[in-house]
Amino acid sequence: MKIGSYELHSIETGSFALDGGAMFGVVPKTLWEKSIAPDEKNRIPMAARALLLVGDGRRILIDVGNGSKFTDKLKAIYKMDNSRNDLLTSLKKHNLTAADITDVVLTHLHFDHAGGSTFNENGTVKPTFPNAKYYVQREHWEAAHKPTERDRASFFPEDFMPLAEHGLLNFTEGEGEILPGITCRICNGHTSALQAPIISDGTTTLLYCADLVPTAAHVPLPWIMAYDLRPLVTLEEKRRILQKAIDENWILFFEHDATVEAATISMSDKGIVLREKIVVN
């Protein structure tokens, strides 16, 4: 898929699984299990799907998946599996190495989005992309340093502190342009100041939903994760942003859907529904 001067590729960084009840909040299992079937431990399969943009002399990644620093205990809890796909192997399919990446836009610093930012080399944690600038909302950076007891388990300082130590961090502030042709929406429901990138050339527009709409099953407005710090804020953000996506025929890119990469949506008498599934590359 091409938007403006960028060629877009979806990058599978590996699979994992999270508790289905936590992923669907107040929606009863009798409903959500029809959309995504859980495993024997009630976990649903999840992708950690990054987006690669190539063009204008840049090779940009949006989010980088879980990465490779987890203990065996955490890998088992989250069913992390990098055997079929991982970040660097997926980049290799596009003839790119870590050194080729020029920019990394992090939607937020939860481990399933930012974990791949760094890696452990003989006991030292280093930036995975040594030549890249990493873009993080300043307000989110500050929130990540003082999480509550409720969201502390989602932040691992070793995912992001080495970026600051190596001088690779670029703070973004608000909804302006992050890079040419890439703006963002700020969402405060899931966490503080999540930046959801929008790639547009005025004709085609793609929203990288991140955790505003983690899977295609989360398109209906009240299907909101229990992980969200402020679910009623998420509800209003979804109402506003998805209405615009319907009106302007945006493509929604789903970071966590195990099977559906992207789709357009429409309004039906039952609420918002998927219109057309889209494969990005």
Interface positions with Zn ion (CB under 5 A): 112, 211
Q: Give whichever of 86 and 112 is closer to Zn ion, judged by the CB atom.
A: 112
If the CB atoms of residues 139 and 211 are measured against Zn ion, the closer one turns out to be 211
Nearer to Zn ion, 103 or 112 (CB): 112
Query: Which residue, 59 or 256, has its beta carbon nearer to Zn ion?
Result: 256
Output the CA–CA distances (angstroms, integers) from residue 52 to 25, 131, 189, 200, 234, in the order listed.
30, 16, 26, 15, 26
CA distance 127 to 164: 10
Quick one: 6 or 253, whose CB is closer to Zn ion?
A: 253
CA–CA separation, 56 and 19 (whole Å): 40
State the minimum distance, in angstroms, from the CB of residue 188 to Zn ion: 15
- Least separation, in Å, of the C-beta of 155 and Zn ion? 12
Taking a C-beta distance cutoff of 8 angstroms, is the pair 51, 208 a contact?
A: yes
Least Å distance, CB 107 to Zn ion, is 8
Q: Between 196 and 251, whose beta carbon lies closer to Zn ion?
A: 196
Least distance from Zn ion to the Cβ atom of residue 212, Å: 10
Q: Can you spell out the DSSP letters for 50-89? A: EEEEEETTEEEEE---S-S---HHHHHHTT-B-SS--HHH
Alpha-carbon distance 153 to 255, whole Å?
Answer: 20
Closest approach of Zn ion to the CB of residue 214, in Å: 6
CA distances from 58 to 61, 104, 181, 281 (A): 10, 11, 12, 18
Q: Determine the Cα–Cα distance for residues 254 and 114; give it in Å rounded to an integer.
A: 16
Q: Which residues contact 182 (CB under 8 A, 6 or more apart)?
A: 53, 60, 105, 197, 198, 199
Q: Is 21 exposed, middle or buried (CB count within 10 Å of its CB: 0-12, 13-18, 19+)?
A: middle
Nearer to Zn ion, 64 or 199 (CB): 64
Closest distance between Zn ion and the C-beta of residue 121, in Å? 26
- Min dist. Cβ of residue 190 to Zn ion (A): 8
Closest by alpha carbon to 136, among 168, 106, 92, 163? 106
